[in-house]
Amino acid sequence: MTAKPRDDMAAAAAGRGRLRASHADREHVLDVLKAAFVQGRLTEDEFDMRVGQTFASRTYAELAALTADIPDGLIGVQPLRKPARAEAPHPQNKVVNSCACAALTVLALGAALVTGNVGLSFVSVVAILGILSVVGGRMAHSSHKKRSTRHRW
């Protein structure tokens, strides 16, 4: 979508004011309103009202009226910033975390066996089986991922 300069919008409104506007025309007006709001030229209430009117507008003249009091040339449509990418945890951290959990679980199982606590023994055994299934699942997923990338053409 190419943004029209505001002069083109005003000229279009004067010459074709009664003609129906397109979605792209409404998007351009929304961009101008956003920039005006960010620059402090519109209050939040004005911005909300004009955005609603933009979606309700059907003609070039209706759209032009929404930005008529915003100065030309001072509104530079602000480019959207790209969202920051979340960094994936380092693969070694997953291994360290898994080993730490397994070691703690084995220690808990040993303590349960020494003290004779049956409930703690059961929980420890279930935790060990859970950790083994998670580690096995990760290994299977990693192996499948390596095989699938190797065979791409």
Average pLDDT of span 41-53: 94
Q: Which residues pair with 59 in a beta bridge?
A: 20
Average pLDDT of span 134-148: 72
Which DSSP category does 42 fall into? Answer: S
pTM of the prediction? 0.42
d(CA 118, CA 90): 37
Average pLDDT of span 58-70: 92
pLDDT tier for residue 152 given thresholds of 50, 70 and 90: low
Tell me which of 82 and 21 has the higher pLDDT: 21
Distance linking the first and last C-alpha atoms of the chain: 34
d(CA 9, CA 37): 19
At residue 119, the pLDDT reads 79
Least confident residue range of 5-9, 37-41, 114-118: 5-9
At residue 129, the pLDDT reads 78
Return the amino acid letter for 50. Answer: R
At residue 73, the pLDDT reads 67
Q: How many other C-beta atoms can be found within 10 angstroms of the C-beta atom of residue 32?
A: 24
Q: Where are the domains of the chain?
A: 6-67, 91-150
